[in-house]
């Protein structure tokens, strides 16, 4: 796990900018209306309760935690580990890596290596691992789908609150002096709904989706590495194949790591 406070900072910065903008235009108290907050936040959440099963809703705290403590996708470390395993396989055979499997905490890698050691053919290994990857992707998609849907409901309930306020205001037209205040209060729910959706819910959904895509890319790389191990490919070829999954920054880091290893080896031999 790696700590990432950037999403939390972004939310706080967004609210801070909104509050600052309001304070430059008038009193903050004019933008606070408890009934409007309740109908926007809890009304949209009620719609989410209807839309998703309880099992998915129980994962909301874990999903929010994932924003700050996101899983670390150490693809460089995985490439090095798979490359080392391939060298060991070429020297001592496939069974020589059986004791190394428990050292890894990635489920896809552990399961894949275990199937290789058990002597499964490449087609079966690919089919099983791709099914596992599909299930992982489906589970994670529920999380960002939930926040995305909540982000759609919030402005809608903001509009409902505005309609309620307008109905109340039109029912009291006998006193024209209340029209301005009534209209302002009615529009607050639209403001709350739009801000909740675009500053909190939809960005969270986008963040979770990006994390899922990162994990899927890592798992796809692992699958290719496991299959290359099963086929007994050259360790150098395996590393080159897996390197194609890295970003430009990760490739530079891998090159620097390899250069440092070569220099260290040279010093030891010297």
The string of pLDDT tens digits covering residues 164-203 is 888 877 776 676 665 666 677 778 889 999 999 999 999 9
pLDDT tens track for 99-118 = 888 888 888 899 999 999 88
pLDDT digits (tens, 9 = 90+) for 119-173: 888 889 999 999 999 988 888 888 889 999 999 999 999 999 888 888 877 776 6
Q: What is the DSSP letter of 139?
A: H
Residue 93: both structure tokens together: 């055979």
User: Which residue, among 71, 87, 198, has the nearest Cα to 140 in the 3D structure?
Assistant: 71
**pTM for this prediction:** 0.82
If one counts the domains in the chain, the total is 1
| Encoded tokens for 35 | 């009934």
The domain of 225 spans: 1-27+34-270
Q: What share of the chain is helix, strand, coil (3-state, %, to 5)?
A: 85, 0, 15
Length of the chain: 270
Percent of the residues in the chain that have a pLDDT greater than 90, as a whole number = 29
Beta bridge partners of 3: 69
Of 13-22, 25-34, 144-153, 208-217, the poorest mean pLDDT is in: 25-34
Two tokens, residue 24 = 């430059």
Q: What is the DSSP string of 2-29?
A: EE--HHHHHHHHHHHHHHHHHHHHS-GG
CB 35 within 8 A of CB 43: no
Instruction: Specify the pLDDT at position 105.
Output: 84
pLDDT of 232 > 80? The answer is yes
């Amino acid at each position: 796990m790696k700590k990432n406070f950037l999403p939390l900072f972004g939310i706080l910065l967004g609210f801070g900018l909104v509050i600052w903008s309001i304070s430059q235009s008038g009193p903050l108290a004019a933008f606070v209306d408890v009934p409007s907050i309740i109908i926007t936040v809890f009304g949209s959440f009620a719609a989410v309760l209807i839309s998703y099963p309880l099992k998915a809703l129980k994962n909301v705290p874990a999903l929010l935690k994932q924003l700050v403590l996101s899983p670390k996708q150490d693809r460089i470390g995985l490439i090095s580990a798979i490359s080392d395993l391939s060298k060991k396989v070429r020297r001592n055979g496939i069974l020589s890596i059986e004791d190394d499997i428990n050292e890894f905490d990635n489920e896809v890698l552990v399961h894949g290596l275990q199937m290789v050691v058990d002597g499964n053919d490449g087609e079966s290994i690919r089919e099983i691992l791709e099914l596992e990857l599909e299930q992982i992707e489906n589970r994670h998609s529920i999380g960002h789908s939930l926040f995305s849907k909540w982000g759609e409901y919030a402005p809608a309930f903001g509009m409902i609150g505005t309609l309620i306020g307008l109905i109340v205001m039109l029912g009291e037209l006998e006193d024209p002096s209340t029209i301005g205040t009534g209209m302002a209060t009615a529009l607050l729910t639209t403001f709350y709904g739009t801000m909740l959706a675009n500053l909190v819910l939809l960005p969270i959904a986008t963040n979770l989706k990006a994390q899922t895509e990162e994990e899927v890319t890592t798992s796809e790389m692992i699958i290719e590495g496991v299959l290359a191990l099963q086929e007994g490919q050259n360790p150098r070829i395996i590393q080159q194949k897996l390197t194609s999954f890295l970003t430009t920054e990760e490739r530079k880091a891998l090159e620097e790591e390899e250069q440092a290893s070569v220099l260290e080896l040279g010093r030891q031999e010297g």
